[in-house]
Every structure is written in C-alpha cells, then in structure tokens.
Structure 1
Amino acid sequence: MWIFGYGSLMFDGWEAACGCTGRRWADLPGYRRSFNKKSVESRGTPEAPGLTLNLVRAAGHVCRGIAFAFEDDDSAPEIVLGLQKREACKPRALAVQLEDGRTVTAQVYIYEGRNLIADSMPLADKAAMIAKAEGIRGPNFDYVRDTYEGLKGVGVDDPAVTTLWEAVKKYPDQPKLL
C-alpha cells in the first residue's frame, strides 16, 4: 500500500508509528497545492477559521510529494482510517510516479467537503484569515510557517505555499521573525 503526502505528511514523522517500509519522491500529475480548506478546530474556530493545505485539480501541473510504502496487510485499513480522521476526508486511489520511474496507485487525501473556500480568494484575504485564526493545535500562522519550512527543508519549492507565507509573515501583529 502506498500513501502520498504533499504537506505535513511529508515531514512530521507520522509514518514511523505506522510501520512504514519505505519512502520515495513521487509526482502526482494534474494537481497542485492550495490553502483552500477551512480549519474550524485544529487551526481555527467556526467564528475565525484558519486555512490548511489541500490539493486542487490543475491541468498541466504536477504536485511533488513523498509516497510512503506500507505492507498491504491487516494494519493497512487502520492506517488509512487514522489518516482519514486526521485529514477529514476519505482517500482517493490515484496514480503517482515514483522517482525510479514506476507508477503506483497511492491513497491521496483530497478534501472536497463543505469547508472549502474559493481557490480564487485574494491573497490578502487569505493572509488576514490566517493571521487571526487559532485552534486547538495552535495558531494558523504557525501551521503555514511550518508547512513552508517543512517543504523547503525537503527541497520542495511550491510557489503557492511560498507566496502565501510571504504575505502571512508580513501581516500586522504576527511574531517577528529573525
């Protein structure tokens, strides 16, 4: 079984507790990252929602991520369900291309529920929303920063993430960065 990570799943270490047997760079064609999923618990509230990372269809785009390998045994459904709860959606089975050229079917978590915002929301509005939001897992500012730094740390430069981070860190009343 393969699971494709495109955000925090790439670098927060969740896979170690689930018996991951390998990890490979992978590309998901036809998708790109977008901060279009409202967080009303983890990184925001219903009154002041935050924004978290998701994928949107985008012809001509390729989303670079990590494909995690797991034994396709009795523990596989438990892993999928645990991530389903974390990501607030059921996975889709999609073809991803591994760095060695193989194409595998991976479970990819793409949220399409009622807490989506328009992908076209102005950058300044997204930054303002993020700057005001805080949930049970902390400020939305921290999530966006950690996502940017995490992707940068593994060598992924995503313009959508970088552009949003640049707008958010300039927002008034945010922690001063060194």
Structure 2
Amino acid sequence: MPQLTHELIARAVRPPPPGPSAPPPDEARLRAEMKVFLHGRDPELGIWVFAYGALMWSHAEAAPDIVTPARLPGFARHYALQDVHDRGTPAAPGLTLGLGEAPALSCSGLLLHLPGPDVEARLWPVWKQEMGPGFYRPSWQDVVMQPRRESAGTTIRALCFITRPDCPAYRGELPVRDIAECLAASSGSNGSAAAYLLDAAETLRQNGMRDPMLESMEAEVARRLAGIPHPVSPASTRARATPATPDPASRF
C-alpha cells in the first residue's frame, strides 16, 4: 500500500480551480466577541488553549510559552465541516476537521499556554484563525495533560473550539469514501486538504500520540493519490447491478 507523503501530495494534487475566494471575516465583530468571551478573567494569569487541527503546528504568532501533549475526554475529531476558506474554495469545497461530542472517546492534541499580561494580543491570531469561518463555538473544557510516562495527567481548564452543528458549513457524518475522495482532490489558499491531514497525523505521532481515524484516512487518501483502485469483492460487484440510491450528503 502507498504511504501518504508530501512528495506524493505535491505530485498528485492539482492547484485549486480559478474563481472567487471566500469573503474575509469581520474582524471588528470577532474582536468584540473575543473580549466578551474573556470578560472577567485575570489577564495576568494567561490562558490555556486546546489545539487539535492546524493550530497544533500553526501557533507561532500566539507565542505560547508551554506546548504539551493532552487529551480532551468526551470529544473526537471528525470531518464534518465544508471548507471554502483554507483548503478548499467556493467553486470546489474541501473538508476540514471539527471537534464533536463523543462520550466514550477522547481527542488527542496539544495544550498551548498563552501567558499574561497581553493575553488578548496573543489570543487574537488564534481566535481569528479558528473563529473566522464561523465553524466553531468557544467553550471552556477540562483537558488532561498527557504525560510522557505512564501516570495520571493534570486536568487543565482550557479554551476549546467545538463544532457548531447549526453552522451553514456543517455536513454531518459522511461516508469514509466521500471524505477520502474530497481530501484527495481539494486545495485552497492555505494548501491541500491532503497535506492538512498528513500534518495533523504526523504532529500527533511526533508528540507520542495517535488518532486511528486520521491514520485510516491517510491510507485511503494515499491510495487515491497513487491511483490504486479499491479492491472489489464479488458481493459488491453483484450489488452494482442494482442502481444505488444517491446519498444527498455526498457532494464531493
């Protein structure tokens, strides 16, 4: 089986099609919402932010003084958000990661500590990046530091960006086939969806963590980019004789 690599992605993924870009976010509104969210907190104490997607490696502007592995109980990553901003376009939407409730699971990621006293200035690039597209709602959640050794972790109250099922970009639970085909094909102003997938999985591995969903999707996307057809069983071949009912959620 082929392995998903940046070299394979560079060879196989085409640049985004020409067309209009998504409108920029309303920065004045975003700043006002951030101030309301932080109201009442002592800026001298700083804040913790939980990163589970691009924020795991794209946080230089926020200048965190601590970056440590962690897990968020009761939530899991999912590809349920249509992306026309970063790794997709309005003409050819991609998919991006969200964070959905999953009581029996936990989401691995990184905890970022933004120290005081200039918390608002440090948080602003994070807030703009995460809240600009309208995908998420900010929420304080208990996140567990994931120690390198086998021992109990410390629980930290951290800012998390949770998927909004009521946002226009929400697509709900999609078939693995449709997700993989979309990730293999889409790209936008911030690169390709396949590279985003690979960066997320590699960042977790570098920090001693794994996500089975991401690693399974790596294999699916790599196979498509390498042009290897999916093996067909006799049962599925017979099933093709009957026209399938189209899935209304599958638009990619």
TM-score for the superposition, normalised by structure 2: 0.61
Asked whether 1:32 is paired with 2:86, we answer: no
Asked whether 1:19 is paired with 2:63, we answer: yes
More displaced stretch, 41-50 vs 142-151:
142-151
Verify the 8 A CA contact 2:66 2:113 in the aligned structure 1: yes
Report the count of equivalent residues.
170
Match of 1:81 in 2: 124
TM-score for the superposition, normalised by structure 1: 0.84
Deviation digits for residues 54-100 of structure 1 (CA, Å, limit 9, x no counterpart): 11100111112221112242x21233332122123442111112246
Write the mapping of 1:62-141 to structure 2, written as runs, cut at 5 A.
62-73=106-117, 75-88=118-131, 89-99=136-146, 101-112=153-164, 113-119=167-173, 121-141=174-194
How many Å apart are 1:102 and its aligned residue? 2.6
Verify the 8 A CA contact 2:54 2:196 in the aligned structure 1: no
**What RMSD in Å do the two structures reach over aligned CA positions?**
2.0
More displaced stretch, 155-164 vs 90-99:
90-99
Equivalent of residue 159 in structure 1, options 199, 212, 228 = 212
AA at the equivalent of 1:81: W
How many Å apart are 1:21 and its aligned residue? 2.1
How many Å apart are 1:173 and its aligned residue? 6.2
Match of 1:168 in 2: 221
Verify the 8 A CA contact 1:48 1:129 in the aligned structure 2: no
Taking the aligned partners of 1:8 and 1:141, their CA distance within structure 2 comes to: 13
Asked whether 1:4 is paired with 2:56, we answer: no
Runs (4 or more) in structure 1 with deviation over 3 Å come to none
Mark the runs of 5 or more structure 2 residues left unpaired by the alignment. 1-46, 147-151, 228-252
Match of 2:249 in 1: none
**Is the strand fraction higher in 1 or 2?**
1
Q: Secondary structure at the match of 2:141?
A: strand
| The structure with more radius of gyration | 2
